[in-house]
Chains A and B, each alone.
Chain A
Amino acid sequence: MAAIDVRKALVAACAVLGVSGPTARATEIETAVLGYTEPSRVSALEAVTDLRHAFADGKEVNFRLVLDALTGASASGATPSSRVQVFTRPSGSGSYQTAPSETPLDDTFRDTRVALSGGYAMPLGRVTTWDAGLYGSTEHDYTSLGVNTSLARDFDKRNTSVAVRAAYFDDTINPEGGRPEPFGAMQPAGQAQPRLTGDGAKQTLDLGVSLTQVVDRKTVVLLDYTFSQVDGYQTDPYKFLSLVDPVTGDPGEYLFENRPDARNKHIAYGRFVRHLGRDNLRLSYRLTDDDWNVTSHTVELHYRWNLGAGHYLEPHGRYYTQTAADFYRRYLVTGSDLPQHASADYRLGDMQAYTAGLLYGRPVGDRNELTVRFEYYWQTGESHPADAIGVLRDYDLFPTVDAFIVQVGYSLRI
Chain B
Amino acid sequence: MRIKSVLGLSALLAIGLGAVGGCASMGVEPWERDLLAEPGMQVDPNPLVTALDEHIYFSKEAASGGLAGGGGGCGCN
Which residues in A have some Cβ–Cβ distance to B below 8 Å?
Answer: 2, 4-6, 8-9, 11-13, 16-17, 30, 32, 34, 36, 46, 48, 50, 64, 74, 109, 111, 113, 115, 135, 137, 139, 141-142, 144, 146, 148, 155-160, 165, 167, 169-171, 173, 202, 204, 206, 208, 211-218, 220-226, 228, 230, 236, 238, 265-271, 273, 275, 279-280, 282, 284, 286-290, 292-296, 298, 304, 306, 312, 320, 322-323, 325, 347-348, 351, 353, 359, 371, 373, 375, 377, 379, 401, 403, 405, 407, 409
Contact = CB atoms under 8 A, between A and B. Distances in A.
A158 B41 CA distance: 15
Interface string B34-70: 1111101111011111011101110011111111011
B49 A373 contact: yes
B37 A156 contact: no
B13 A267 contact: no
Closest 4 CB pairs of A and B: A159-B27, A12-B33, A280-B40, A169-B72
Contacts of B51: 48, 64
Contact of A238 (B31, B64, B77): B77
Interface of B: 1-2, 4-6, 8-9, 12-13, 15-16, 19-20, 23-24, 26-38, 40-43, 45-49, 51-53, 55-57, 60-67, 69-75, 77
A215 B24 CA distance: 10
B12 A30 contact: no
Given A159-B23, A159-B26, A312-B40, A296 B62 contact: yes
A223 B15 contact: yes
A289 B38 contact: no
Contacts of A2: 35
A159 B28 contact: yes
Contact of B66 (A171, A269, A304, A403): A269
Contacts of B37: 8, 11-12
Contact of B63 (A74, A139, A322, A403): A322
Contacts of A271: 43, 67
A44 B38 CA distance: 34
A288 B65 contact: yes
Contacts of A113: 74
Contacts of A267: 63, 65-66, 70
Nearest to B12: A268
A4 B29 CA distance: 12
Contacts of B30: 12-13, 16-17, 157-158
Contacts of B29: 157
Given A5-B34, A218-B35, A268 B72 contact: no
Contacts of B52: 32, 34, 46, 48, 407
B63 A294 contact: yes
B55 to A, nearest CB: 8
B48 to A, nearest CB: 5
B8 A268 contact: yes
Contacts of A8: 33-35, 37-38
A8 B36 CA distance: 9
A323 B6 CA distance: 15
Given A34-B52, A159-B26, A322 B62 contact: yes
Nearest to A232: B72
A215 B26 contact: yes
A238 to B, nearest CB: 5
B12 A270 contact: yes
A206 B19 contact: no
Given A9-B32, A213-B23, A348 B48 contact: no
A226 B36 contact: no
A348 B60 contact: no
Contacts of A269: 65-67
A236 B66 contact: no
Contacts of A146: 71-73
B70 A228 contact: yes
Contacts of B32: 4, 9, 217
Given A206-B71, A223-B16, A294 B62 contact: yes
Contacts of A286: 63, 65-66
